[in-house]
Amino acid sequence: MLRNVRKHAVFYVMLALPVSYFLVFKYGPLVNAQIAFKDFSPLDGVWKSPWIGLGNFLTFFSSIYFWELLRNTIGLSLGKLLLGLPLAVILAIALNESALRRFRRIVQTITYLPHFLSWVVMYGVLLLLLSPDEGLLNAVIKAAGGQPIGFLYTPKWYPVVVILSDVWKEVGWSAIIYLAAITGIDPGLYEAAEVEGASRLQRIRFITLPGILDVVITIGLLRLGNVLDAGFHQIFVTYSVPVYSVGDIIDTWVYRQGVLDFQFSLATAVGLFKGCIGLALVLSFNRLAKRYTDSSLF
Amino acid sequence: MRKAIVLALFATFLVVGAMGAGAQAKLVDIDLWALGAVTEAGNPPDNWVGYQIIRDKLGINLHLVLEPSTPTDQDTKISVAAAANSLPDVFGVNRDMLMKIAKAGLVAQVDSLLPKMPMRTKIHYNDPVRTKLVQISGKMYGLPDPGAMDRVEGVVIRKDWLDKLGLKAPKTLDEFMAVAKAFTEKDPDGNGQNDTYGFGAFYESTGLSSAGFGRRFDCILGAFGVAGMWNLDSAAKFQFNFRDPNFRKAVEFIKRMNDEKVMDPTWSAPNKDEFRARWKQGKFGIMWEQFAALHTQANYKDFDKNFPNGEWVPIMPPVGPQAKSSNGIDIAQARIYAVSAKAMKAGKGDAIARLLEWMASDEGYYLCGFGVEGVNYKKDAKGFISFDGIAPELAYTHKSQQPITQLRNMVYINNDIELAVRYPTYKSQNGKTMDPLATWKFFKNSPYTESTGAGLIDPPSNANDFKRYYDENLIKFALGQQPLNDQTWADFMRGMDSLGAKDIEKAAKAKLIDAGLLD
C-alpha cells in the first residue's frame, strides 16, 4: 500500500487539501455538537458544561411556533426546488439549443449575474420593483386601475416573492451545471438522430433529457438533503413582522432565540435536528431514486 | 582606547535597550469595543494623537474596535464573543444582553473600580436610577454613562400643508384623523397627484419596552393612556398595558387609520432609512420624529432642497377621549460599558479605571469629544466650542474628521457645551432661522408618560417568542389581516398568558418594588 501511495504521491497531496478542509471545518467542529445536550456555559466550556439530556430539543419542539417554522421552512425550500430546478434545466437546454453564440453568451451572463449579488443588494432591487408606492410593478398595477399591493408585507404574497426572487437570483448559476452535463453528451447521438429525421424537440426529449437525468437527480437529492435550509440571508433581509407567520423559518428563529437570547445550546440542538432530518431525507430519496431511475448518489 | 569606547557604547546600548524594554513591559494592553459615534466613518487613524497620549501618560496600549451601529448587530457580536469566552477587556453593551452575559459569569463586578476614578464617577455614574440598570443583587456589572438626551421625540406636522388647506393643527384625536384625511385626499402639496398621506411611521420595536407597534405610535397610544408596555402608575395598577380596555381602543384607532388609508402604507415595515427618505420626499404630513433627525442642518438639507417653503413644526400630542395625551415614555436609559471577568482576573482593572478617568478629565473630554484644540476646534474661556479660523475641512464636525471623535459618546454628558455645538442654529434656503434645540425644548415641555422603571425590567427567557407574538398580533389586527373582535382579542390575551405574561408581570413588579420605583 505504501508503495502505491508513493507511486501516486502527487494525487494524494492533491487529495490532502480537501480532506483536511473537511476534517478541520466539517468533522472537527462536530465534537462541539455535544452542547446540544448540555446547558452550555462559556466559562465551563464545551466539555465541562452539565448534561441536560434532551431539554434543548424539547424547548424547540414545544415552542408555539414549531409547526409554523417547520411548515414555512419546508414550504419555501420545496417551492424554490420545484420551481428552480426545472427552470434551470429548461434554461440550460435553451442556451444549448441557441444557434447564436453571441446571444447565448449574453443571456448566460445576464442570468447568472444576480448570483453574485448579496441579498442586501437584492432587497434594494426588490424594493424598487415591489414597493407599494413607487415600485415598478405597482406602478403598472396602478396604471391598469388596480390597488397597489404590499408584496413584501402581505402574507399572501411574501412566499411568492421569496420563491421567485430566489429562482431569479440562482437559476442562471444553477443552469451552468446542466449546461456542462449537456456538453458531455456524445454529439454522435444528435447527428444520428438528425439523420433519422428527429425533430429538435424529439432530440431534446430522447437524447438531452435522458443524458442529463443523472445530474438532475443528483442535484435534486443534494438539495433535498438541505430542505431545512430555506435561505437564512434572504429571509433575514426581507422579512418583517406582518409576514412572520409565513416567512419565519427555523434559521431565523434560531438566530433570534439562540444568538440574541444567548441560548447557544438551543441553537446547536436545532442545528443537529436539521442535520438529522437532512440525512434521513437524503438516504430515503437516494433509495427511491435507485429503485425507480437507476441513478443515485451512492 | 578604541576598545574601551566600543565597550562603553555597547554597555550604553544595553542599558538604554533594557530601559526601553522595561517601559514597554509596563504598557497594559486594553481591548476596547466601543459604541462608535459614526461607525461607518471608521476607526481613528493609527497616528491619532489620543493613542500616543494614552500610551505615554496612562501606560496603556489601546486596541480599539468599533461595534456595529444597530443594537441587534451589537448584541450578535457580543453574544458570539461571549459564547467563545473571548469578550474584550471593555465593551459597550445593551442592557438586556448585559444581564444575560453577567448571569453567565462573563462580566466583572465593577463597584471596586469606582473609587479609582472619582472624577468620572462623580460626572458619569451619579444617577441612582441609571446605576440600578446595571445592578444584579445590588452589585454593579456595568458602568452606566448618561444615555441619549431625554424626551427627544414628538409629533411634528407640515405647517405649509395646514396653511394651504386652511386647517388648524389638530388637538384632539378626531381632529388628528380629520387632518390626516385631508392631507391624504386634498392634495396638500398641490402637485395635482394623489400621492400624499396623512401620517407616516415605521415599525420601530427593538426591545420589550418598545414592543407592539413600536415607538412611532406612542402619541396615539398615549392619547388612550396606554403609551409603552407597562402601567407603572402604582403597584396596585401595575400590569401590561394590553390588559387595559383602552389599549384595544387604541389598536382600533390605528386600524381605522390603516383602513381609511391615511397612513403611509410602508408603516409596518422596519425600515428607518426608508421612512426618513419618505418624509424628505414629502410623502406625508404628520409623524413622530426625533428632533435632531428632523431639524439639524445635515438631516434637514434634503427636505429643504426639495421643499424650500416646506415647514415641519412640533405640535402637542393629540388628546384622547379621556383627556389623556402623551408623546411617549420617560424610561431609564444609559450607554453601558462593561468589563469582562477575564480582564479583571488578568489584573487590568486599574488600567481600565485609569483610562476612563482620563476620558473624564479636561484633556480626555475635549480630545475624544472635539479633536485637537486649534486644529479641529477652538475653545473660549468658558469652554464653549467654536470654529472661528478653523479650516472647514478640519473642523471635527466635517465628514473627513469623524473618525477622530469616534469615542465621543464615552465622554459626552449632554452639557451645555455639547448641546450648543451639536445643535447650532442655521438658515434654511428661504432664509428662515432653524433652531433644532427649540424643537427639543418643545418636546421636553410636552406630556410624557412616567415609565422610568420599565428600563429595569428583565426580559423573559422566551423574550423573542413573547415579543414576536405580541408584535405580530397587534400589527395583524391593525392591518386587518386578522379580525379584531371580542373573540379574537380574548384569544390574543390568552396567548400572551400562555407565553408567561403573568409570570413576567409578577417578576417585574417584585423587581420594581425592590428597586423603589413602584409603590
Spell out the domains of chain B, with CATH numbers in brackets. Answer: 27-147+334-408 (3.40.190.10), 153-326+431-514 (3.40.190.10)
Percent of chain B past pLDDT 90, that is, above it, reads 75
Helices (H), A184-243: 187-195, 200-203, 209-225, 232-238
Beta-strand runs (E) in chain A: none
Q: What is the CATH number of the domain that holds A160?
A: 1.10.3720.10
SS3 assignment, position B429: coil
A283-287, B24-28, B260-264 — most confident range:
B260-264
- For residue A210, the model assigns a pLDDT of 93
- For residue B18, the model assigns a pLDDT of 46
* Residues A206-249: tens digit of each pLDDT: 999 999 998 998 888 888 888 898 999 999 999 988 899 999 99
Residue A298 lies in a domain: no
- Asked whether residue B21 carries a pLDDT value surpassing 50, the answer given is no
| A63 Cβ under 8 Å from any chain B Cβ | yes
Closest CA to B285 of B431, B434, B430, B169: B169
- For residue B37, the model assigns a pLDDT of 86
Yes or no: say if A184 and A174 are a contact pair by the CB < 8 Å rule.
Answer: no
Closest CA to B308 of B416, B432, B425: B432
Check residue B459 and report its DSSP letter.
P
- For residue B22, the model assigns a pLDDT of 45
SS3 assignment, position B231: strand
Residue A241 lies in a domain: no
Q: Which residue(s) pair with B240 in the sheet?
A: B230
Yes or no: say if A297 and A286 are a contact pair by the CB < 8 Å rule.
Answer: yes
Residue A154 lies in a domain: yes
Per the structure block, which three cell numbers stand in for B490? 380574548
Residue A191 lies in a domain: yes
* Average of per-residue pLDDT values in chain B: 91
Residue A128 lies in a domain: yes
Pairing of strands B28-34, B378-379: unpaired
In angstroms, how far is CA A240 from the centroid of its own chain? 22
Pairwise CA distance, residues B187 & B165, whole Å: 9
Pairwise CA distance, residues A107 & A104, whole Å: 5
Total of domains in chain A: 1
Cβ contact (<8 Å) for B283 and A43? no
Pairwise CA distance, residues A216 & A86, whole Å: 9
SS3 assignment, position B330: strand
**B281-313: b or e for each residue (b if 16 or more CB lie within 10 Å)?**
ebbbbbbbbbbbbbbbbebbeebbeebeebbbe
Pairwise CA distance, residues A35 & A219, whole Å: 32
Which of A261, A264, A270 would best serve as a mutation to test chain B binding (most B beta carbons within 10 A)? A261
Yes or no: say if B183 and B287 are a contact pair by the CB < 8 Å rule.
Answer: no
Nearest Cα of chain A lies from the Cα of B311 at a distance, in angstroms, of 23
Residue A199 has φ and ψ, to the nearest 5°, of -75, 170
Pairwise CA distance, residues B248 & B241, whole Å: 10
* Residues B295-315: tens digit of each pLDDT: 998 889 999 999 999 999 999
What single-letter amino acid sits at B352? I
| B83 Cβ under 8 Å from any chain A Cβ | yes
Check residue B389 and give left, alpha or beta (phi > 0: left; psi -120 to 50: alpha): left
Per the structure block, which three cell numbers stand in for A209? 433529457
Residue A234 lies in a domain: no
Per the structure block, which three cell numbers stand in for B158? 407640515
Q: Residues with Cβ < 8 Å from B41, sequence gap 6 or more?
A: B399, B402, B403, B406
State the virtual CA torsion across B211, B212, B215, B221 in degrees, nearest 10. Answer: -130
* Residues A47-69: tens digit of each pLDDT: 999 999 999 999 999 888 999 99
User: Between these two residues, B339 and A153, which has the higher pLDDT value?
Assistant: B339
Yes or no: say if B202 and B275 are a contact pair by the CB < 8 Å rule.
Answer: yes
- For residue A79, the model assigns a pLDDT of 96
Residue A235 lies in a domain: no
- For residue A132, the model assigns a pLDDT of 80
Nearest Cα of chain A lies from the Cα of B397 at a distance, in angstroms, of 30
* Residues B472-495: tens digit of each pLDDT: 999 999 999 999 999 999 999 999
With contacts defined as CB-CB under 8 Å, which chain B residues touch A244? 468, 472
- Asked whether residue A147 carries a pLDDT value surpassing 90, the answer given is no
> What is the greatest pairwise CA distance in chain A?
79
| B463 Cβ under 8 Å from any chain A Cβ | yes
Pairwise CA distance, residues B285 & B272, whole Å: 17
Pairwise CA distance, residues B39 & B276, whole Å: 19
First to last CA, chain B: 89
Residue A251 lies in a domain: no
Per the structure block, which three cell numbers stand in for B256? 381605522
Name the residue in chain A with its Cα closest to that of B270: A240
User: Between these two residues, B82 and B331, which has the higher pLDDT value?
Assistant: B82
Cβ contact (<8 Å) for A262 and B499? no
- For residue B7, the model assigns a pLDDT of 52
* Residues B400-453: tens digit of each pLDDT: 998 999 999 999 998 989 998 889 899 999 999 999 999 999 999 999 998 989
CA distances A61 to A240, A250, A270, B472, Å, are: 23, 11, 9, 21
Per the structure block, which three cell numbers stand in for B198? 396623512
Place of cell 437525468: A213
| A197 Cβ under 8 Å from any chain B Cβ | no
Check residue B195 and give left, alpha or beta (phi > 0: left; psi -120 to 50: alpha): alpha
With contacts defined as CB-CB under 8 Å, which chain B residues touch A246? none
Domain of residue A141: give its range.
71-221+278-293
B335: confidence class by pLDDT, cuts 50, 70, 90: very high
Instruction: Establish, for the pair of chains A and B, how many residue pairs have beta carbons separated by less than 8 Å.
Output: 94
User: Do you know the residue count of chain A?
Assistant: 298
The whole model's pTM is what? 0.82
Place of cell 406602478: A139
Cβ contact (<8 Å) for B469 and A241? no
In angstroms, how far is CA B66 from the centroid of its own chain? 16
- For residue B2, the model assigns a pLDDT of 54
Pairwise CA distance, residues A154 & A165, whole Å: 16
User: Between these two residues, B257 and A292, which has the higher pLDDT value?
Assistant: B257
By mean pLDDT, which of B34-48, B79-93, B113-127, B183-197 is the weakest? B34-48
Per the structure block, which three cell numbers stand in for A103? 446571444
Yes or no: say if A92 and A180 are a contact pair by the CB < 8 Å rule.
Answer: no
With contacts defined as CB-CB under 8 Å, which chain B residues touch A253? 464
SS3 assignment, position B62: strand
| B106 Cβ under 8 Å from any chain A Cβ | yes
B111: confidence class by pLDDT, cuts 50, 70, 90: very high
Check residue B204 and report its DSSP letter.
B
